């Protein structure tokens, strides 16, 4: 590109609100690489998406500093703005969990993450299209505990970190139930009572690595689908926990696990959905498709993020 102009969108409340103490260091790294940085602090939900959706061309990169939810907003805005087609995103993780950054092997140290933006490579990454008018970078989910991340107050997340999710999740244990869902994929047709379901393009979910299986490739045009039945006795519970801990989905009847390019999930009643940890509405039917290699994102120059991830330095 002809320009060195980049936009840095940051969420001042993300994580433990610590980005303020790193902002100068981040800017020094970016400007030392010759980038002309424009900064924009978000003021509330949807702010980043609206901003990016209305941007004009002329940016070398769109940078995001915040949690996975902030990144989701930035990516959604980029997908909805044709003028930003082909413009890479840069991610500085500053949230509580940062699952997507973990999968991409982006450092949790903010200054080191900024250095990835200036010295890394561009990766072509799949993203998900949700009901034709929304997007997600690494997970769409329904069922038990999916309301935890967006119901947990930001102040509680900032103070307790991962413990906040555990505490909030424990409060929902009394709500354990299932939903009768019909799930159809490329070569899959399932009708069953499901307690939790997730469609992922990530190796980490909720801070737990390898929960979506081994060998996940972020640019293969496939998403991993995991559907979990509700245990009815201690033996089934042990079976489920062991399968999830070892990413061993073949030897249990408690989990459906498969890969697909497209997916439809239907239920007789509206299901509450989350996209990248943020509330995505209640839907009786959801259609999900993979947008193969649609997102260009900066990752470390070396490291395994899955085969076929091409690209070079910007």
pLDDT category at 61 given cuts 50, 70, 90 is very high
Q: Do domains 5-131+293-299 and 136-290 have the same CATH topology?
A: no
* 225-to-73, 102, 288 alpha-carbon distances in Å: 23, 19, 11
Total number of residues shown for the chain: 314
pLDDT tens column, 111-137: 999 999 999 999 999 999 999 989 999
Proportion of the chain above pLDDT 70, given as a percent = 79
CB 97 within 8 A of CB 207: yes
Q: Which of 9-13, 160-164, 178-182, 228-232 has the highest mean pLDDT?
A: 178-182
Segment 144-172 shows an average pLDDT of 47
Fold classification of 5-131+293-299 (topology level):
Rossmann fold (3.40.50)
Kindly give the pairing relationship between strand 139-143 and strand 262-275.
antiparallel
Residue of higher predicted confidence among 213 and 165: 213
Is 90 exceeded by the pLDDT of residue 34?
yes
For 252, which DSSP code? -
- Residue 4, classed as helix, strand or coil, is coil
How far is it, in rounded angstroms, from Cα 234 to Cα 135? Answer: 38
Q: For domain 136-290, which architecture applies?
A: Sandwich (2.60)
> Average model confidence (pLDDT) for the chain?
82
Whether 223 shows a pLDDT value over 60: the answer reads yes
Q: Specify the range with the lowest mean pLDDT, choosing from 20-29, 138-147, 213-222.
A: 138-147
- Who contacts 291 (Cβ-Cβ below 8 Å, separation ≥6)? 79, 126, 127, 128, 129, 135
Report the 10 Å Cβ neighbour count for 98. Answer: 24
pLDDT for residue 175: 57
pLDDT at 304 over 90: no
Better-scored residue on pLDDT, 301 or 302: 301
Q: What is the pLDDT of residues 43-57, one digit of tens each?
A: 988 899 999 999 988
Residue 104 DSSP SS3: helix
Residues 231 and 254 sit within 8 Å (Cβ to Cβ): yes
> Who contacts 282 (Cβ-Cβ below 8 Å, separation ≥6)?
270, 271, 272, 273
In the chain, domain spans:
5-131+293-299, 136-290
Provide the pLDDT for residue 159. 41
List, in order, residues 6 or more apart from 208 with CB less than 8 Å away: none
Q: What is the pLDDT of residues 71-108, one digit of tens each?
A: 999 999 999 999 998 999 999 998 776 778 888 899 98
pLDDT digits (tens, 9 = 90+) for 251-300: 788 889 899 999 999 999 999 998 887 888 999 999 999 999 999 999 99
d(CA 131, CA 78): 17
Instruction: Using the predicted structure, report yes or no on whether residue 196 has a pLDDT greater than 90.
Output: no
Average pLDDT on 24-41 reads: 96
Does the pLDDT at position 241 exceed 80? no
Q: How confident is the model at residue 229 (pLDDT cuts 50, 70, 90)?
A: confident
């Amino acid at each position: 590109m002809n320009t060195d102009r980049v936009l840095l969108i940051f969420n001042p409340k993300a994580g433990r609100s610590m980005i303020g103490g790193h902002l100068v260091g981040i800017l020094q790294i970016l400007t030392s690489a010759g980038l002309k940085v424009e900064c924009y602090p978000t003021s509330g939900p949807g702010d980043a998406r609206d901003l990016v959706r209305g941007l004009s061309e002329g940016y070398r990169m769109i940078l995001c500093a915040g949690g996975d939810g902030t990144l989701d907003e930035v990516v959604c805005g980029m997908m909805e703005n044709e003028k930003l087609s082909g413009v890479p995103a840069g991610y500085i993780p500053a949230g509580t969990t940062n699952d997507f950054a973990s999968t991409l092997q982006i450092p949790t140290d903010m200054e080191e993450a900024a250095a990835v933006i200036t010295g890394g490579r561009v990766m072509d990454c799949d993203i998900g299209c949700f009901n034709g008018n929304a997007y997600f970078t690494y997970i769409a989910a329904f069922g038990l505990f999916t309301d935890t991340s967006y119901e947990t107050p930001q102040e509680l997340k900032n103070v307790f970190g991962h413990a906040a999710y555990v505490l909030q999740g424990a409060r929902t244990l009394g709500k354990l139930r299932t939903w009768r869902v019909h799930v159809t994929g490329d070569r899959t047709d399932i009708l069953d009572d499901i307690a939790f379901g997730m469609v992922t393009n990530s190796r980490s979910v909720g801070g737990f690595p390898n929960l979506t299986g081994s060998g996940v490739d972020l640019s293969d045009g496939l998403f991993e689908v995991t559907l979990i039945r509700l245990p009815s006795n201690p033996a089934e519970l042990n079976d489920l926990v062991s399968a999830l801990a070892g990413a061993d989905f073949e030897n249990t009847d408690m989990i459906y696990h498969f890969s697909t390019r497209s997916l439809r999930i239907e239920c007789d009643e509206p299901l509450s959905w989350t996209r990248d940890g943020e509330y995505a509405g209640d839907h009786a039917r959801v259609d999900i498709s993979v947008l193969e290699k649609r997102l260009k994102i900066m990752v470390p120059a070396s490291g395994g993020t899955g085969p076929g991830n091409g690209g070079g330095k910007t």
